Structure formats: C-alpha cells, structure tokens
Amino acid sequence: MGRWEPDARGRLLHAALDLFADQGYEATTAAQIAAHAGLTKTTLFRHFADKREILFQGQPALVSVVASGVASAPEEATATELLRAGVRALCEWHVPEQQEIGRRIRPLVDLSPELQERTAFKRSVLAAALVEALHERRVERRAAAALSDVGIRAYYDGFAAWTDARRDEPLWDVVSEELIAIEVALRSALGAPQRLGQDAATR
Amino acid sequence: MGRWEPDARGRLLHAALDLFADQGYEATTAAQIAAHAGLTKTTLFRHFADKREILFQGQPALVSVVASGVASAPEEATATELLRAGVRALCEWHVPEQQEIGRRIRPLVDLSPELQERTAFKRSVLAAALVEALHERRVERRAAAALSDVGIRAYYDGFAAWTDARRDEPLWDVVSEELIAIEVALRSALGAPQRLGQDAATR
DNA sequence: GTCTATACAATGATAGAC
DNA sequence: GTCTATCATTGTATAGAC
C-alpha cells in the first residue's frame, strides 16, 4: 500500500456521477468533484484531460480492441464476418459493472450538449478505426466504411438496450441480434425496390 | 444604413479563417478575431455561442433542409429514393462559395481535436434528423437508421471530394455518384457472401 | 511517481450604458 | 447591436512536498 488511497480515477468517476446526478453536469465544477474524491483540482486534471473525460475513461482502449478483433478473425472470413469479429471484440471488452455506469451516464448525456459532443466524437473515432481494420483485411474502402457504420450503430444501439435491460444477458447477445436485424433491414431496403406502406411479410 | 458595418457574422468568419490559417486555431484568441472584424469579444459571443461555431455558421439550417427534402419526395418513393431526396436537398442548399470556405476549413479541423469534436456532433445531429424524416415516411426504424448512415457518409465524403476538386461541378453530382457507389459496395458485401482477395469483376 | 500550492491565460456569461 | 467591465470556471504550467 502506498501513501495515498488507491484508484484515484475510480473515485473521481463515482464522485462525478454522484454530483452530476444531484446538480447536473454543468452546475458541477471540477473543484467540487476533486474535493469529493479527496483530491484537488490540479490532481483531477493530472488524471483526465478535461471534465468530460472523467465519464469516458477507458474508452480510448476500444480503438485497439476493435482493431485486433478484426485482425485476428480467420483468414477466410467474409466482410460481414470480419465486421462481426470487430464488434464482438468491442462487446466482450465490457465488464458487467459498465451496465450500471452506462445507466447513470445516459441521462447526463441526454441533457448536456457538451457530453453529446464528446460521445459523437468517440463514436466517429471508433468508426474510423473499424474502417481501417476492415480495409487492412482487404475489404474495399467504400464497403468497409458502410459496414463500419452498420457495426458501430449496432454496438451503440445494442449497448443502450443492454444498459436498459435489468437481466444480465451478455452484451454481445444483444448487439449481435441488433447487428443481424440491421443487416436484414438494409438488405431489404437496398435490394429489390419495394413499395412502402405494405406489410412485406404478407406477400 | 445603421451605425455599424453590416454582416458581422461574415466578417467574423473571414477574420477567423485568416487568423487560424496564420496562427492555428488554438493559438488564436476570440478577442483577436473580434478585433480583426472591428468588434469586441462580447459582440463576437453575441453572434456565436462559442469560438468553434464561427466556422460552422449556417449548418443548423441543414437539419430542416434534410427533413423537408425527404418530406417533399413523391408519395410512391421507395426508401432509397427518399434517402436520395434528403441528401440531394442537403447538396442543393450549398452555394458555390462554400467550396472555397470548405477548402480553408478542412486543414484546420484536421489539426484540431476541438473542431473534430464539433464536426462529429453536427454530423450526428444531421444523421438523427435524417433517420426521423425517413421514419416519418414509413421507413422501418432500423432501415431508416442504416440508410441514414449511408446517406450522411456519401454527403460528407462527397463534400470533401467536391471542395478538393477545382472544377465547378455541382455538389450533388459528386455526392450522387458517391451514394450510388456505396450502395453498390454495400449490396455486394451484404448479399451473397463472397470470399475476399479475388477480383470480383473477373468472374 | 503521485500529489499539492499557486499563478495564469482564455472562454464564455452577465449587467448596464449608448 | 455594440461597448465596457467584471466575473466564475476551465485547463495549463511550474515548482515543490511526501
């Protein structure tokens, strides 16, 4: 044991979640968060580049997770199989504790444009990493880009559904279903043109 | 004529572009920009919510542009036709002058995480608006979401190609080609599974 | 190697005068 | 619509403490 309480980052995260829930994101100052974690503002900014990053800690790792997920797929994998491998790796990186954290973060993001901005940025960085990974496995550029959008959407929408669900279903189960559903919907929308407003299932 | 030079927003934009090109985005203060436009910092922030927004002025309009583009498509339009109508409306909203402005903004964004963040946010807001518009035209939720991603990607990538090109081709021509190319690539990737690493065109 | 104290520049908000 | 002035907060930089 060192001279300081351990896990400064974790304490800052929980202090932030508590204070944000009480006062809202904007009304809470960095100094307040630091104080609640038994630290000073200076130390907070030694651990996190900015106030928002407290809530997104760990996410930088996702870029390499998705990359190695795709890279380690079987040699003979098709483009959609490579996509599944990448998205699956993302899902398996998450530990059950993040279900609870995600549940607490969501309403904060919904109320704060600043947090929405950071979310959108992280998503775009992750999507770009997935495009690169697919392209390196010889998926053509445009296909890689479009498939990446599909996979990232399944991941985010699936993650939201997962944090909402009380059951402790694995994240990948939820996202995998979402991914398949999107692929089906897209194939049908892009395929033989169908008139809308009719129930396609009845034909 | 009033007491002030007209078009404060336009003057601020060009002052910002000049100073950013010289000193970089971060090294340029809001006060400097305001001074170069013959204004004060206070007035700058009356016109723009923050420093970044100087470069993105006008873009809030795109949300309603894409919505009415989709809404005013023919009754019998298919999902992909609705998508094209929305993206086309976006393209036709842009005036040729924005080709030059886009050319000057891009390198700034490439160097500034802060601007990348704002870009990603605008993109996500636009994509969400497109999803809503498609859904209101009875495109199923997941198909609307995935098609929106395709359309927004075509729009952004096409816009980048358009600003790079010296020719004065209409933006929609560039984006339309991109959109079709993505649809083709995606249909092929999602369709009959194909092994990679072979040239599909030679079969 | 992590924490703290202090000082500092810049953003962005606010109140009141012209 | 613009200006002056003041202000809290973010985030940085530096120096040193344990």
Q: Which of A36-50, A181-195, B15-29 has the lowest mean pLDDT?
A: A181-195
Those nucleotides of strand C lying less than 7 Å from any protein Cβ are 1-7, 10-15
B91: closest CA of chain A, how far (Å): 20
Contact flag A146-B189 (C-beta cutoff 8 Å): yes
Q: What integer pLDDT is reported at residue B200 of this predicted model?
A: 47
The chain B residues in contact with chain A (CB within 8 A) are: 76-80, 113, 116-118, 120-121, 123-124, 137-140, 142-143, 145-147, 149-150, 153, 157, 181-183, 185-191, 193-197
Cβ contact A154:A182 at 8 Å: yes
B196 vs A79, A147, A197: nearest CB: A79
Query: Does the structure show a pLDDT above 90 at A192?
Result: no
Q: Do domains A8-49 and A59-201 have the same CATH topology?
A: no
Instruction: Kindly state the average pLDDT of the residues B94-117.
Output: 96
A105-118 residue pLDDT tens: 999 999 999 999 99
Nearest C-alpha of chain B: how many angstroms from A10?
25
Q: What CA–CA distance (Å, rounded) separates B66 from B93?
A: 9
Q: Where are the domains of chain B?
A: 8-49, 59-201
The one-letter amino acid at A157 = D
Q: Which of the four CATH numbers 1.10.10.60, 1.10.10.10, 1.10.260.40, 1.10.3470.10 does domain B8-49 have?
A: 1.10.10.60
Say which CATH class A59-201 falls into.
Answer: mainly alpha
DSSP A73: S
Burial status of residue A119 (CB atoms within 10 A of its CB: 0-12, 13-18, 19 or more): buried
Q: Count of CB contacts below 8 A, A vs B?
A: 116
Quick check: B140 pLDDT over 90? yes
Whether the predicted pLDDT of B192 surpasses 70: no
Q: What is the pLDDT of residues B22-59, one digit of tens each?
A: 999 999 999 999 999 999 999 999 999 999 999 999 89
Give the nearest nucleotide to B45, CA to C1'.
Answer: C12
Angle at Cα A59 formed by Cα A56 and Cα A62, nearest 5°?
A: 165
Please report, as a single letter, which amino acid is at residue B147. L
Element (H, E) at B83: helix B79-93
- Quick check: B51 CB within 7 A of strand C? yes
